[in-house]
């Protein structure tokens, strides 16, 4: 029979040795010039084990080296898996593997066949054991890589991805298959590409051993994620630069949280500061002027204030802060939290030439931005006159506040109201809390209020309607009452108060008292 040769191929060594074992068991390794098997040298059981052990040691050692290198460079912690296996398998004495009878070149006989069979059975078990251990190591290695929270990556020295762990797809949306071999900057947010490339170059040029920084990576859906990059240089077995190795950690949620905390702190600080000014507990001095300048406020320039009142804000600080953030990007605006309201100081544009019409246009622009965020909100927006000087913040705030109170006195739940349109309410609002104002209300309509409370009547409301109309017929129509009923109620009111409602001075005084009482009720409700 012609000579037969079997060549061991790299990567197929386990299967090859098993084939060799099978051939030995069938007696095809008998010394014969017509039948011989070779791997480039004479084959014996010891030689087969030697080839097996060296090949396994080489592949396992490479796996061990790469594993430990990644674990060490990523700072995950020292593994006890590979060192144990390395000590017990990879580094074991080669003499252990040489035990058993070697196959010698002698005629095949029955006794020798028994020895071959025993030795070959041992070899098969040994091969299976090595194979299962190597597969176990590979699975453990893959499990550790897959369960690291960040993306583990490798690039070549040109900056192209050579390895990406599975989390890459979860974070960016790009598959590993479509990313491997591509330039890493293709996946970096445009504004951060120059900085990221400089960091990469500094590592490749060995100006630094590692780099850690935060940038934005683009996602497949067109958004971006904040990523913490850790990268370091890698070299091949000859000491030549091969590329970089590192991790990409998604810190988007962390960045958003930090931003929210920072904005919340700055808002609270700004709000406390401005509330102290508008309430008169802090006077404006040089220190205050310097801080206001950092906010963008110049006391030498004209200023207007818009105050936004919304029942939905009450007890909903998060909703209120979201609106403040929306308005905070408006050029020339300083926005703050006025307890249950939102204040906006404005010095942008040509505010020094502001008219009622231009102020109303600005207010409409503010409302438009808010309604883009939440179209269901009902807002009352009060606008001040233009003011200049150290007291301009306090003056404009109270004028805006007065406009919102006047709107609510009219039963308005939304809309824009200017301070100039308040009429007599400008004077009345200024006197809220004044002891003289309280006494005036008590003297003018106090007895009528008590009568309604005791008798369960509604004569105060009837009085308001009588004062708002020129004759009793219109009052009756407004209240859906018979004219004689209105006449009777008018007479009863006059008797209780001891006045005549036909007198202009009496009607004016009673009207003021009713307005003061209504303003006070609105303020208490807020």
Kindly calculate the radius of gyration of the chain based on its CA atoms and give it in whole angstroms. 44
DSSP category for residue 220: T
Per-residue model confidence (pLDDT) at position 330: 78
DSSP category for residue 151: E
Q: What share of the chain is helix, strand, coil (3-state, %, to 5)?
A: 55, 15, 30
151-250 adopts what CATH topology?
Answer: Beta-Lactamase (3.30.450)
Residue 243: phi, psi to the nearest 5?
155, -145
| CATH class belonging to 435-525 | mainly alpha
CA distance between the termini of the chain? 109
Per-residue model confidence (pLDDT) at position 238: 87
Residues 268-279 have pLDDT tens digits of 888 888 998 888
Per the DSSP assignment, residues forming a β-bridge with 346 are: 304, 333
Mean pLDDT within 420-449:
80
Whether 523 has a pLDDT exceeding 50, the answer reads yes
Closest CA to 50 of 117, 114, 123, 109: 123
More confident call, 299 vs 493 = 493
Whether 9 has a pLDDT exceeding 90, the answer reads no
Pairwise CA distance, residues 425 & 432, whole Å: 11
**Among 236-240, 247-251, 315-319, the least confident range:** 315-319
Query: Of all residues in the chain, what percent carry a pLDDT higher than 90?
Result: 27
- Average pLDDT across the chain, whole number: 76
More confident call, 215 vs 261 = 215
Residue 102: phi, psi to the nearest 5?
-80, 150
More confident call, 99 vs 336 = 336
With bands split at pLDDT 50, 70 and 90, how would you rate the model's confidence at 32? Answer: very low
Coil, strand or helix: which one is 383? Answer: strand
Q: CA dist 490 to 146, 444, 467, 502, Å?
A: 86, 16, 11, 10
| pTM for the whole structure | 0.53
With bands split at pLDDT 50, 70 and 90, how would you rate the model's confidence at 172? Answer: very high
More confident call, 379 vs 283 = 379
Q: For residue 120, give every residue at least 6 positions away whose Cβ sits within 8 Å of its Cβ, in sequence order, or none.
A: 21, 24, 25, 45
Per-residue model confidence (pLDDT) at position 449: 92
Mean pLDDT within 464-483:
89
Per-residue model confidence (pLDDT) at position 15: 44
Coil, strand or helix: which one is 333? Answer: strand
Q: For residue 479, give every residue at least 6 positions away whose Cβ sits within 8 Å of its Cβ, in sequence order, or none.
A: 462, 465, 486
**Among 103-107, 144-148, 154-158, the least confident range:** 103-107
Mean pLDDT within 497-519:
87
Residues 411-434 have pLDDT tens digits of 888 889 999 888 777 777 766 666
Whether 23 has a pLDDT exceeding 50, the answer reads no
Q: Output the CA torsion 37→40→43→46 (10° steps).
A: -150
Contact of 486 with 492, CB cutoff 8 Å: no
Whether 316 has a pLDDT exceeding 50, the answer reads yes
With bands split at pLDDT 50, 70 and 90, how would you rate the model's confidence at 36? Answer: very low
The two tokens of residue 60 are 């396992």
Residues 77-109 have pLDDT tens digits of 443 333 333 334 444 444 434 444 444 444 545
Contact of 278 with 339, CB cutoff 8 Å: no
Query: Of all residues in the chain, what percent carry a pLDDT higher than 70?
Result: 69
Q: Among the ranges 56-70, 229-243, 263-277, 318-332, which has the highest mean pLDDT value?
A: 229-243
**Rounded to an integer, what is the distance from CA 41 to the centroid of its chain?**
66
Architecture of domain 270-422: 2-Layer Sandwich (3.30)
With bands split at pLDDT 50, 70 and 90, how would you rate the model's confidence at 361? Answer: confident
Per-residue model confidence (pLDDT) at position 91: 43
Contact of 338 with 309, CB cutoff 8 Å: no
With bands split at pLDDT 50, 70 and 90, how would you rate the model's confidence at 183? Answer: very high
Coil, strand or helix: which one is 281? Answer: coil
Domain boundaries, the chain: 13-147, 151-250, 270-422, 435-525
Per-residue model confidence (pLDDT) at position 134: 66
Pairwise CA distance, residues 230 & 397, whole Å: 50
Contact of 288 with 277, CB cutoff 8 Å: yes
Q: CA dist 250 to 148, 167, 219, Å?
A: 12, 10, 12
With bands split at pLDDT 50, 70 and 90, how would you rate the model's confidence at 140? Answer: low
DSSP category for residue 482: -
Per-residue model confidence (pLDDT) at position 147: 59
Closest CA to 226 of 238, 209, 236, 214: 214
Residues 42-73 have pLDDT tens digits of 444 455 455 555 655 565 566 556 556 555 55
Pairwise CA distance, residues 344 & 348, whole Å: 12
Tell how strand 415-418 and strand 304-309 pair up.
Answer: unpaired
Per-residue model confidence (pLDDT) at position 313: 62
Contact of 391 with 299, CB cutoff 8 Å: no
More confident call, 10 vs 348 = 348
């Amino acid at each position: 029979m012609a000579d037969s040769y079997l060549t061991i191929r790299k990567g197929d060594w386990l299967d090859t040795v098993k084939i060799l074992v099978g051939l030995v068991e069938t007696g095809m390794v008998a010394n014969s010039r017509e039948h011989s098997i070779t791997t480039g040298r004479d084959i014996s059981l010891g030689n087969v084990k030697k080839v097996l052990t060296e090949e396994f040691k080489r592949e396992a050692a490479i796996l061990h080296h790469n594993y430990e290198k990644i674990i060490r460079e990523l700072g995950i912690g020292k593994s006890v898996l590979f060192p144990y296996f390395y000590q017990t398998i990879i580094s074991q004495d080669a003499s252990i593997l040489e035990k058993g009878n070697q196959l010698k070149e002698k005629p095949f006989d029955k006794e020798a066949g028994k020895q071959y069979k025993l030795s070959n059975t041992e070899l098969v078990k040994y091969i299976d054991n090595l194979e299962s251990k190597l597969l176990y190591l590979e699975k453990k290695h893959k499990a550790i890589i897959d369960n690291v929270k960040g993306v583990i990556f490798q690039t070549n020295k040109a900056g192209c991805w050579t390895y990406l762990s599975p989390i890459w797809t979860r974070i960016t949306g790009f598959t590993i298959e479509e990313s491997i071999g591509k330039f890493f900057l293709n996946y970096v947010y445009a504004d951060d590409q120059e900085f990221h490339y400089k960091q990469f170059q500094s590592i490749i040029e060995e100006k630094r051993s590692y780099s850690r920084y935060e940038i934005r990576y683009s996602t497949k859906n067109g958004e971006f994620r904040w990523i913490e990059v850790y990268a370091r240089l890698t070299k091949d077995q000859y000491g030549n630069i091969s590329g970089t190795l590192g991790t990409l950690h998604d810190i988007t949620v962390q960045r958003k949280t930090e931003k929210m905390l920072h904005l919340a702190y700055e808002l609270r600080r700004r709000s406390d500061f401005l509330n102290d000014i508008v309430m008169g507990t802090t006077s404006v001095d040089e220190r205050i002027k310097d801080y206001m300048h950092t906010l963008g406020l110049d006391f030498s320039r004209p200023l207007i204030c818009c105050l936004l009142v919304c029942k939905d804000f009450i007890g909903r600080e998060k909703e209120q802060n979201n609106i403040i953030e929306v308005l905070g990007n408006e050029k020339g605006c300083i926005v703050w939290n006025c307890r249950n309201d939102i204040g906006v100081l404005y010095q942008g544009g040509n505010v020094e030439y502001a008219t009622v019409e231009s102020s109303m246009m600005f207010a409409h622009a503010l409302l438009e931005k808010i309604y883009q965020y939440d179209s269901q909100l009902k807002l009352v927006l009060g606008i001040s006159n233009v003011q200049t000087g150290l007291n301009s913040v306090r003056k404009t705030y109270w004028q805006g506040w007065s406009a919102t109170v006047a709107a609510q006195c009219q039963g308005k739940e939304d809309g824009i109201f200017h301070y100039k349109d308040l009429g007599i309410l400008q004077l009345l609002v200024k006197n809220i809390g004044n002891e003289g104002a309280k006494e005036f209300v008590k003297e003018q309509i106090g007895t009528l209020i008590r009568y309604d409370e005791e008798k369960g009547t509604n004569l105060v409301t009837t009085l308001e309607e009588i004062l708002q109309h020129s004759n009793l017929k219109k009052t009756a129509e407004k209240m859906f009452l018979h004219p004689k009923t209105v006449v009777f109620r008018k007479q009863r009111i006059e008797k209780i108060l001891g006045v005549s409602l036909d007198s202009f001075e009496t009607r004016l005084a009673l009207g003021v008292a009713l307005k003061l009482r209504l303003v006070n009720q609105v303020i208490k409700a807020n």
